[in-house]
Amino acid sequence: MSEEASTPLWTAFDIAAAVDGEVYGDFRVDGVTFDSREVGPGDLFIALKGETTDGHRFLDKAFAAGVAGAIVSDACDGPHVRVADTMAALNALGAAARDRMHGRVIGVTGSVGKTGTKEALFACLDRALPGRVHRSVKSYNNHTGVPLSLARMPADTRIGVFEMGMNHSGELAALTRLVRPHVAIVTAIAPAHSAFFASEADIADAKGEIFQGLQPGGVAIIPHDSPHRDRLIAAAKPHAARILTFGMDRAADVHAQDVIPLDRGTLLSLVLPDAELTFTIAPPGEHWVSNAMAVIAAVWAVGGDLAAAGLAFAEMEGLPGRGQRSTIPVGSGEALLIDESYNANPASMAATIKMLGGERADRRIAVLGEMRELGAGSAGYHADLAGPLRDAGVDFALLVGSDMAALANALEGRIEFEHVPDADAAIESIEAKIAPGDAILIKGSNAIGLSRLVAHLRTKPPAGERTTCST
């Protein structure tokens, strides 16, 4: 076994030094988690205490699953590091991981496109530095997910990519000071979580907090075409050595020279401060053109391989819940399923509906779950989706959730639709609504549970293979 392969992520004594804890039994770990459902052999399990649960209750389960050690504040029979506060220990371990990593760090936030941009950055950078790029997994972007993602970062990482989210002012300021990025990206500003903000400008101010953690010589990457561009630039100026804007406008530092839609994806020619790059973006939709510009700007800012990044974009596939495409059996044929079930806000809804309109299909079906946390303007935001649905040539819309009543009213007499109360009702209804040759978009706030509808459609056997029973 090579020295590199035998190097653990953390040793018990490394952990104790980082979190000011006491070692009970020596151990080495290769992974970190606080979710007992995700533990695996060789992991470190952090027993967090929350308002409704206590990770200490799952220690026996975690050790049975093969964890090498734990961080605890209560008594524990297995190898562990004892601390006064396990949440404080998680933050301290994340901070220690950041301190020992001497590569470059990129932070990503925005109202839409955070996870897709983070994953695209990883793919683009990892192609040139395989195995040396680390990123936060899933959407681990809050006060627990960010330090966990940091704690999982190997010491020899060359580039780390971290997603940061918020739904209240002040949250990003705390996260970015933990991540301490060399490059900080704001993808876009839109009315997501507007229930917690008086205006979209206030959302921009909260997103602009990401620049407060920039390291000396750091780069801020800002959407040029946003109406909040100048506000974001003002937020970045006290902290950034350089500000890069990206957008369709040729005044942007990174801008599109040519955008050519293809049967699958988009051919994009970009102009950068000292380079030009032409490449294909495999994921379809105008929103991916914007994401790609932000990604390429960040790759350029860290001195990455632009050619390798272009090749990675050509091979990129959608993520589960965030644009993943699959062919599903329907009747005697097949249909295209576009899974956008993880989250939704007015901007991302409009973008993906427009993308659906570009699909070649016998019919276009939109299954739309209500959008959460939109505050007093919720009814208007939902009703405003009628225009994008009509413009996209959607043939049928299945609307899910009580807040979709406003859109149902707006669609009367325009296109065919059905309004159902929840995901269970959508699952019952969908079978009779879809046919071979359809393109089916499924999108809604995660809390609506449309991922269950996606799973139902994907696990259906072909018509000729369905089991029958006889008596």
Residue 123 predicted with pLDDT over 70: yes
Question: pTM to 2 decimals?
Answer: 0.82
- Domain total in the chain: 3
Instruction: State residue 96's pLDDT score.
Output: 98
- The answer on 294 and 245 residing in a single domain is yes
**292 and 335 share a domain?**
no
pLDDT given at position 465: 45
pLDDT of amino acid 194: 63
CA distances from 144 to 86, 318, 372, 441 (A): 11, 26, 22, 31
Please indicate, yes or no, whether residues 290 and 338 belong to a single structural domain of this protein: no
Residues 408-459 have pLDDT tens digits of: 999 998 999 999 999 999 999 998 999 999 999 999 998 899 999 999 999 8
Q: Quote the pLDDT of residue 284.
A: 84
| 470 lies in some domain | no
Residue type, 276: E
Which residue's structure tokens are 């609504």? 433
**Domain hosting residue 266, numbered range:** 101-315
Q: What is the pLDDT of residue 470?
A: 32
- Whether residues 329 and 435 share a domain: the answer is yes
Q: Note whether residue 91 is domain-resident.
A: no
Same domain, 57 and 114: no
In the predicted model, what is the mean pLDDT of residues 262-266? Answer: 85
Torsion sign across C-alpha atoms 449, 453, 454, 456: positive
Query: Does residue 46 sit within a domain?
Result: yes
Judge whether 140 lies within some domain: yes
CATH number of domain containing 383: 3.90.190.20
- Write the CATH number for 144: 3.40.1190.10
| Last-in-domain residue among 298, 315, 332 | 315
The Cβ of residue 463 has, within 10 Å, a number of other Cβ atoms equal to 12
**Alpha-carbon span 408 to 398, nearest angstrom:** 10
Q: Among the three residues 60, 86, 112, which one is the final residue of a domain in this structure?
A: 86
Q: Residue 206: left if φ>0, alpha if ψ -120 to 50, beta else—which one?
A: alpha
d(CA 253, CA 242): 11
Q: Amino acid letter at 149?
A: S
Angle formed at CA 352 by CA 225 and CA 243, multiple of 5 degrees: 25
Say yes or no: 59 and 111 in one domain.
Answer: no
Residue 332 burial (CB count, 10 A)? 10
- Tokens representing 325 are 């495409």
End-to-end Cα separation, the chain, in angstroms? 60
pLDDT class for 463, splitting at 50, 70, 90?
low
* Same domain? 353 vs 331: yes
Percent of the chain scoring above 70 in pLDDT: 96
Same domain, 167 and 41: no
pLDDT > 90? residue 368: yes
CATH number of domain containing 12:
3.40.1390.10
Asked if 282 and 354 sit in the same domain, the reply is no
Bridge partners (DSSP) listed for residue 396 = 365, 416
For the stretch 209-246, pLDDT in tens is: 999 999 999 999 999 999 999 999 999 999 999 999 99
Give, in degrees to the nearest 5, the angle at Cα 391 between 386 and 392. 100
- Token pair listed for 379: 């009814």
Q: What is the bridge-based pairing of β-strands 324-330 and 276-281?
A: unpaired
372 and 395 co-located in one domain = yes
The reported pLDDT for the residue numbered 196 is: 74
With cut-offs at 50, 70 and 90, classify the pLDDT of residue 144.
very high
pLDDT tier at 320 (50, 70, 90 boundaries)?
confident
Same domain, 273 and 419: no
Residue 96 lies in a domain: no
- The answer to whether residue 177 scores a pLDDT higher than 80 is yes
- What residues contact residue 184 under an 8 Å CB cut-off, 6+ apart? 106, 107, 108, 109, 176, 210, 211, 213, 214, 218, 219, 220, 221, 236, 240
Instruction: Please indicate, yes or no, if residue 36 is contained in any of the structural domains.
Output: yes
Please state, as a whole number, how many other Cβ atoms lie within 10 Å of the Cβ of residue 417: 20
Which residue(s) pair with 442 in the sheet? 339, 367
- CA 268/CA 297 separation, integer angstroms: 14
- Could you tell me which of 288, 295, 283 has the C-alpha nearest to residue 254? 295
Task: Work out the percent of the chain whose per-residue pLDDT is above 90.
Answer: 80
Both tokens assigned to 166:
């918020």
Q: How far, in Å, CA of 452 to CA of 124, rounded?
A: 31
CA distances from 356 to 147, 243, 323, 389 (A): 36, 34, 11, 9
User: In the numeric block, which tokens belong to residue 121?
Assistant: 């950055």
Task: Determine the Cα–Cα distance for residues 471 and 464; give it in Å rounded to an integer.
Answer: 20
Boundary of a domain, candidates 285, 315, 345? 315
Q: Kindly state whether residues 123 and 272 are assigned to the same domain.
A: yes
Identify the bridge partners of residue 246 per DSSP, sorted by sequence position: 223, 254
Which pLDDT belongs to residue 468? 33
